[in-house]
Every structure is written in C-alpha cells, then in structure tokens.
Structure 1
Amino acid sequence: MKTISRHFFGDSEKTAFSISIVENMKEDYGLFVWPCSIVLAEYVWQHKLRFSGNNVVELGAGTCLPGLVAAKVGSNVTLTDDASRLEVLENMRGVCELNNLKCEVLGLTWGVWDASIFSLQPKIILGADVLYDARAFDALFATVTFLLQSNPGSVFITTYHNRSGHHLIEFLMVKWGLKCVKLLDGFSLLPSDKAARLSGNIQLAEIMLNHEQIEETSSSGAR
C-alpha cells in the first residue's frame, strides 16, 4: 500500500519547508523511511550552510530524505541505490518530481567499479542506515574509501543503529584506512516532537581518510 509522508524542517515561516516521500510499507526496504534517515536529514538541515553549494552523494538512498533535504538547502545532489533495484530507483525519480527538486538518480552497486562511480565528485557522502547487513559491509567501505580517496577533503556522514556492531565497524575503518572524526547521539540532534516518534539507539558518525595510517602503510611497503 502506497502512502505519502511529510517531513517538516525549520521553525519559522521564512525558513520552514517540508519534504513529501512516497512510501510502500509492504515492499522493498528501500521504499519506506527509516529512523536513521530522519536523524540524518535533520543533521543536514541543521548544518545547511555547510551543505549549500557542495556536491553531495547519498549512498543506498532508498526514499532519499537526507539527499532531498540537501538539495533543498542548495546542494548539488546525486541519489544512488543498488543498480538492480529498479523500483527503488524509479521511486526516487518520482519523489524528486513530487518535491520539485532536481537531483541526479544513479544506479550504483557497492563494490562494483563501473563508469558511474568514476563520474562522482562528492564533497559530502551521506548514508542513512547503510550499516545494517554485515555481508555488505566490505563492499560499502570499499566504495566509501574509493570516493574519499578520489575527492580529497571529502567526508562520509552516516547514521546507524547500534545493532550494526561497533567492533566490526571499527575493524573495517582500520582495514580501509578510515577514521571517525565525530560521533554523536542521534537523538540529541532531534527536536523533541521528532524524537518522541522514534525509538532505538542511533549514532551519527563523520568518517574521513586516516592519512596517518595510509602514510604508515606506504612507508612500511617502501622498506
């Protein structure tokens, strides 16, 4: 069953806006809004000056609420999801039209190095609840690392539930030469009315390349 949910941002008539999302509660996981998306979208709104004018890529975008908020505040946005999930990609295009926002929609399968990934030049990479399947973690981190290495100074901002397993995430960050530069309680970011409607233990992390580790690895290899 398809429904349309509305998500509001801002607290004054001059700055407030809403994003409408088409959801299908009985279909693909990528066709409804997860709590992590709400937290990440709120973070984008609260840091709108940081996002305005920058290239943003959302990985595993699904209903793409964070990416749409980024577009609304002035980012150049590319929304991506698995290239095989045609219904999700089509829904993303429809939601962009519904909100009168111009975003690129791209099929991007984690760990697959086709022409699409080489065209991306993000300053900020977004991912809401993309750390839910341990089997896909390596492919995700490989994709994130490639984008960070290809775009110096870029950052990956992700929200995730503690069910993801902190130890595995920390291990993979070390493996791929990444480091967490900011870690926040997701609920601390939310207005009380939004927080009251959500549950769980959600973290927000900003992840960048660990240049010290890369330099150490390079030095060791040169000996």
Structure 2
Amino acid sequence: MSDGRSVSGQLKKFVFRGKSSSKGDSRGEYLEIVIPELLTAGYSFYTWPSAPLLAWYLWTQRRHLRGLRVLELGCGTGLPGILAAKCGARVTLTDSVALPRSLRHLSACCEANGLVPNRDVKILGLAWGLFLSEVHSLRPVDLLLASDCFYEPSQFEEVLSTVAYLLDGTDARFLCSYQERSADWSIEALLKKWGLKGALLDLDSLSESSGVDYRSLVGDRSLHLLEIVAV
C-alpha cells in the first residue's frame, strides 16, 4: 500500500448516456464525471478498470439511487460513489485511514465534480476488520459498493468481516466489481464463515436492457460484478 508522491497527472473523463424516460424528449440523459489522476503516486490515485464497470451498473440503476444511503469501501478516486451522489444518493466515501494523502485526493475528485466534501458527500478513513467507532457510525446503509477490493488475498477476510458487520440484520446488499487475476483466489469459504452469500450478475443481460455494451468499458479484461447479501 502506497501513499507516495506524484510526479505527473492527468484529467480523465467518464461519460454516461441513456435514453430519457420523458415522452417526446429525444435528448436523452447525460452525465459527465471527471477524475484527476496522479499517475505515479500510488494505486489509490488511479481509476482502475473495475470502477467504470461498477459506475456503469449504477448508471443503469440511476432511477433507484435517489435517497439511498450508499457507502463505498476502498474507493480510491471514488468514481462509483461520485456517480451515485450525482444521481441523488446519500453517499459516504471511505478509504484506508492509513492513507491521509489518498483521502485528500478523494476530496479533490469530489470537488472536481461539484460535490462539496462533508456537505454533499461524507469522506472517512477506515481500517477494514477493525470495528472502531467510525465503523459503527456508518450504519445503517442501503447499498455497499467496492471496486477491486479483492486485490490482495491477505486482506480478503478484513474486507468481508467489515461487509458482514454492515449488512448484518438488514436488507442491504454489497456490489463489488473485480478483475479476475488468479483462478486460485476464492472468497467462497470466507463468505460462508461470515454468514454471506454471493452471486455474479449477468452483464450481458444488463448490456441488452441498458443499450450500452459493458465491453466498451472493460475491453478484453476478465471483469465481474458480484452481489453479496447476508444469509
């Protein structure tokens, strides 16, 4: 994990489009999100391919987001959570409490999209697997989000224990996009241990219903979208 210094940067633009639901309105719906990236600062300063996939899914569900209590874990540049906030959700963005510079950059990403930190969105540092007062204050939530949080196997249980606590006794769900990096990595046993169950979402069907091909976002990468709920 790195919270290092940057020597170069870029502004990356993500555009989401959809047909309007209003009769006679042919303009459609449009949302543009810009993310300032610091390319050599560390992996939390870059938007990894799983994040646009999760953001795309949220965009297809945008009419159901308004008013939801949404929490993103390990959010890095925060693309999915920022999109949810722009669609009317009540969003809390979190990343490692050990990476204060990453949290400051996350604030800058929000501000680049007209969101005032701790007014329009909350930003909080967390330590996965440690149930400190900050974690207790996050309940209740309606929707948990994460992209590429299953990156380092040694942290899988820390992530899922935190998810289990936040979902316990609720109808909330956890949506996680991830890149398949090794066939030997599995969270199945940990899901059972922590009283959770997961199912992969059918991205091809979602593409058909939304009219947007998710493959245009992910290319030839092996990316998946997993929904996890409490048993």
TM-score normalised by structure 2 residue count? 0.84
Distance 1:193 1:179 in 2: 25
Which residue identity does 1:10 align to in structure 2? Answer: R
Q: Where does the alignment leave 5 or more consecutive residues of structure 1 unmatched?
A: 211-223
1:138 aligns with 2:157: yes
RMSD, aligned α-carbons: 2.1
1:202 aligns with 2:202: no
Task: Tell whether the 8 Å contact from 2:97 to 2:127 is kept in structure 1 after alignment.
Answer: yes
Which residue identity does 1:126 align to in structure 2? Answer: L
After superposition, the Cα gap between the structure-2 partners of 1:209 and 1:199, relative to the gap in structure 1 and judged at 3 Å, is same
Aligned position for 1:68:
82
| Alpha-carbon distance, 1:28 to partner | 1.2
Distance 1:75 1:158 in 2: 18
| Alpha-carbon distance, 1:198 to partner | 3.0
Aligned position for 1:2:
9
The count of aligned residue pairs is: 209
After superposition, the Cα gap between the structure-2 partners of 1:196 and 1:106, relative to the gap in structure 1 and judged at 3 Å, is closer
Distance 1:147 1:58 in 2: 12
Q: Percent identity?
A: 32
| Alpha-carbon distance, 1:185 to partner | 4.0
After superposition, the Cα gap between the structure-2 partners of 1:165 and 1:113, relative to the gap in structure 1 and judged at 3 Å, is farther
Aligned position for 2:53:
39
**Which has more helix, going by share of residues?**
1
After superposition, the Cα gap between the structure-2 partners of 1:193 and 1:167, relative to the gap in structure 1 and judged at 3 Å, is closer
Distance 1:187 1:158 in 2: 18
After superposition, the Cα gap between the structure-2 partners of 1:167 and 1:175, relative to the gap in structure 1 and judged at 3 Å, is farther
Q: Where does the alignment leave 5 or more consecutive residues of structure 2 unmatched?
A: 1-7, 20-26
After superposition, the Cα gap between the structure-2 partners of 1:65 and 1:29, relative to the gap in structure 1 and judged at 3 Å, is same
TM-score normalised by structure 1 residue count? 0.87
Distance 2:181 2:187 in 1: 11
Task: Tell whether the 8 Å contact from 2:68 to 2:89 is kept in structure 1 after alignment.
Answer: yes
Aligned position for 2:66:
52
Which residue identity does 1:168 align to in structure 2? Answer: S
